[in-house]
Structure 1
Amino acid sequence: MTDEDRISIVGIATGEERSGLRWRRNEAEFSRDEVRVGELRKRVDEFVRVLTEVLATTPMKAGGYHVREVTVNAEISAKGTVSILGCGGEIGGSGGLTFTFVRDDVSTSAD
């Protein structure tokens, strides 16, 4: 598969496809479009790079607990935009991406 190949994406309509940023779950509009594989790859890489930078400063401990992993759900719009899927994920994000970042340097002792 080359960067010029295209992949079909069904996603939540955004931008010029949908007016307004606020809407209810039962009012979600979906659209289908084709995106170049290279463009989608670039957007996913950038999304992961930014999340990695943010998570690098996340404390190893929260209260009396160790943070071992962080799971982030992302939605891909029909235009190929990758965004964090907000609160609850009921928007129809079952077809989105899930990224799980696992720390390999967390102590298992209760210090």
Structure 2
Amino acid sequence: MKEITVKELAEKLISGEKLSIIDVREDEEVVEGKIPGARHIRLGDLEEKLGEIEQGHHHYIVCRSGNRSGKACTFLEQHGYDVTNMVGGMLEWQDEVGK
């Protein structure tokens, strides 16, 4: 599984790279804030929402600590998606958050 640090992902955003970020946390966690531009799809909803995730793009997967996003990456990789897990999760995110 590919991994990226919180700092590396933040640098990509700051440099203006166009990224697909999927936040797999629960609704009550996302209310606290998420990475600007991130799409919220709860881990439990991934299977039913596969058709909404573009297969030809690279996706960065985010959760609270990096655990659930790791599970999401494994699941998505098994279905042919190109994904990278953000290790450390939102617990380590130091940059801007949006709602």
Larger Rg: 1
Higher strand proportion: 1
TM over 0.5, shorter chain: no
TM-score for the superposition, normalised by structure 1: 0.22
Higher helix proportion: 2
TM-score for the superposition, normalised by structure 2: 0.24
